[in-house]
Structures are given as C-alpha cells and as structure tokens.
Structure 1
Amino acid sequence: MPNTEQQSRIDALTQRVNELVAREDIRTCLYRINRGMDRIDAELLASGFFSDARIRWGTPEAVDFGEWLQAALAIQQKTEHVQHLIGNILIDLEGDRARVESYEIGRHLTPMGDDMKDLIIASRYIDIFEKRESRWRIVRRDKVVDWARIMEGSDPVYQHASLAGQRNSSDVSFEMFGEKPFHSLV
C-alpha cells in the first residue's frame, strides 16, 4: 500500500493523464468535424456535436444543431476542392466543460455567378465542449471570421494531379482506411 507521499504523486499523475486524454479527445473531435466537412460525411461531421448544440455560423443568432447541419451540408455540396485546416487549439478545461478556441483556414472553390472562385476564409471557432457519458462534444459554437479573400479559381495543377482529392468515397483515403474512415474515433 502506498504511503501518503506516494499516493499524492499517483493522484497528481492520474489527474495529469486524465487532463491530457481530455485535451486529445477534444482535438480529435475538432479534426473529425473538419474531415466530415471536407469529405461531406454528415455522420462524421455530426459526431463532434451534441444534438442540443447551438451554433452561430454566419448568423447573428445561434441556431439549433439540426438546422445548422442541413445548411452546412448544403453549402459544402455546392463547393469543390475544399480543405479546412485547423490549428492553434487552446483548451481551458474546467471539469467536464472546456472552453476552446481554434483557428481555421478554409479553402473552397465556390460558384460565384458564372465562374468558380476561390473563397479563402480565415476564422476562429469559439467552442464550449462538454463531456457527457465519457464523450467530449461541442454544445456551443461561434464562428468568428477574421478575414476572407475571393480569388481567381482555376485549378490547372489539380486537373492534372494523378491522386487528386475527392469529396466522397472515391477519395484515395477510403481505399486506404476503409468505408467509414475515422468513424471508430467517435
């Protein structure tokens, strides 16, 4: 049986390991959301949110998760050659809640008038996560746009790439990872 000093060290290490696991679970959740957006995988995208989540994403008021999910998927279906890169993830843990800020740069080849234009958006997500039934998910998300650019959208390099990314199951990642990549992380 450990003495008091040993037990204090064990308790401190246990607390630190639990904190590290929580932080990694939150980061993985953010990565799943972005993969869900990029591959238009509604199930993977939705796995990052609790069903009662509220989201303010281009709207002055927060909307229900279901309403947001439909709108997000509709927008993503209109765009091509999309990639969302997430980083600078800061996590402030408070028990089973966490305040999280993460930076994102998203590139979207978007129909604008008769042309396709590159819409590049640099934004931050201000998220509130909760841990329920051992799962970390978002309960509140605000997307803050820091800057955006619209640029000419031709893609001559992409058109000749031997392994060009696809937004569906014909993407090479499905060949490598299977029918539902990363769904095991949910």
Structure 2
Amino acid sequence: MDPMVQQMVDREAIRACVARLARGEDRRSADLIRSCWWPEARFDYGVHSGDFDAYLSWVVPGADAIKDTQHLLGQTYVELSDGTAKAETHVFSYHRVDMGAGDRDTCIGGRYLDRFEKRGTEWRIVDRVMLYDWEQDWGAAADWSKGVMGYPFTAEHFPGRAKGDFSEIWFTGEAA
C-alpha cells in the first residue's frame, strides 16, 4: 500500500479505537473495552492507576454512585512511528453522580494521552494518561426519565441508557 494511504488507514484505525473505547465505557461493556487495550496495558487517571485488569474492574461495572456517563470526543492528534503511535484526544465526559444527597450532573474536560502499538493489522492502547483541564458541577440532576424540556417522550426508548440502550437494538437492524 502507498505509505501515505497506509498512514491515513492507521490514523483512522486509532481514532476508531478511541471512539470504540468511549462507547464501551459509556455502556460498561467489558468486550468493547477489551478490544481497545493490549492485555499488558497500563493506565493512570490521576485518581486511579494500574494495569488493564485494574482498569477493567474499575470501569465495569463502574462505581455505583456513577449512574450514567457520556464521553464526547474531540480531535485526535496522532504521531505515527514504525508500528507505534502517540495520540492526544480531547474529551468532555458527563457523569450523573449520586453524591448522597441526590443525583448531580457533572462534566470534566480533559485529554487522553494514549500510546498505541500495532500488532498484525490491529492498533490498541498500551498506555493511557488522563489529563484534566477543567471540571464543572452543573448542580442537581433533572429528571428526564419521562421527557425533556416539558415535553413527554412518545416511546419508551428515548431516555437513552436510563431504560436500556435502544442503540444496541438499532445497530442490529431489529428496531422498527
């Protein structure tokens, strides 16, 4: 393959891995998460660090206090070098957290610093560091389980992961 085309393919594979990991974290899916990390990988989130097994047991099933998450990814800057890569990805992560006095909505802005290795044709993370740029407590969480902005939902699947995850059914093609 032309070297320039191969670099584009590699960069896209890395971005897809980062996106798949965020999707896995939001769904607390061990299978999706495992597909993004090499087994001997390490992580350091500043508040928790260790090997991949420690990471997986921290994220799945997740803290009981953290009822919902959503990771919104920004740009991913990638530097490739002979089967390895460094990537910086901007992230906003929303969390609905039970602080003991009711649910609160919080948001963190930061960056993932990932080192990747390509083994065969597959790119996966071997090391991740989380940098925190800001955090915002948005206050008491709104009850959106029955609707948003005063409008009721017209079907049970609209509240997202609060009542299962309709996107899982939607991707299989089984949704009406």
Q: In the alignment, which of 9, 12, 18 is matched to residue 30 of structure 1?
A: 18
With normalisation by structure 1, the TM-score equals 0.81
Please say if 1:83 is aligned against 2:70: yes
- 1 CA distance for matches of 2:63 and 2:8? 33
Letter in 2 for 1:49: W
With normalisation by structure 2, the TM-score equals 0.85
Shift of residue 87, structure 1, vs aligned partner: 1.2
Q: In the alignment, which of 115, 124, 127 is matched to residue 114 of structure 2?
A: 127
Query: Which segments of 5 or more consecutive residues in structure 1 lack a partner in the other structure?
Result: 1-10, 180-186
- 1 CA distance for matches of 2:161 and 2:172? 15
Match of 2:142 in 1: 155
Q: Secondary structure at 2:62's aligned position in 1?
A: helix
Query: Which segments of 5 or more consecutive residues in structure 2 lack a partner in the other structure?
Result: 148-152
Inter-CA distance 167–143: structure 2 relative to 1 (3 Å threshold): farther
Shift of residue 151, structure 1, vs aligned partner: 2.1
Q: Secondary structure at 1:75's aligned position in 2?
A: coil
- Which contiguous aligned blocks of 4+ residues in structure 1 show a shift greater than 6 angstroms? none
Inter-CA distance 81–158: structure 2 relative to 1 (3 Å threshold): farther
Please say if 1:177 is aligned against 2:171: yes
- 2 CA distance for matches of 1:120 and 1:58? 17
- Identify the range of structure 1 (70-79 vs 94-103) with the bigger mean alpha-carbon deviation: 70-79
Match of 1:164 in 2: 159
Q: Is the 8 A contact 1:118 1:152 kept in 2?
A: yes
Letter in 2 for 1:127: D
* Identical amino acids, percent of aligned pairs: 31
Q: In the alignment, which of 40, 57, 60 is matched to residue 52 of structure 1?
A: 40
- 1 CA distance for matches of 2:81 and 2:112? 18
- 1 CA distance for matches of 2:50 and 2:113? 15
Q: Which has the higher strand share?
A: 2
Letter in 2 for 1:57: Y
Q: In the alignment, which of 54, 58, 67 is matched to residue 71 of structure 1?
A: 58
- 1 CA distance for matches of 2:26 and 2:47? 22
Aligned residues, how many? Answer: 165
Letter in 1 for 2:81: E
| C-alpha RMSD of matched pairs (Å) | 2.0
Q: Which has the higher helix share?
A: 1
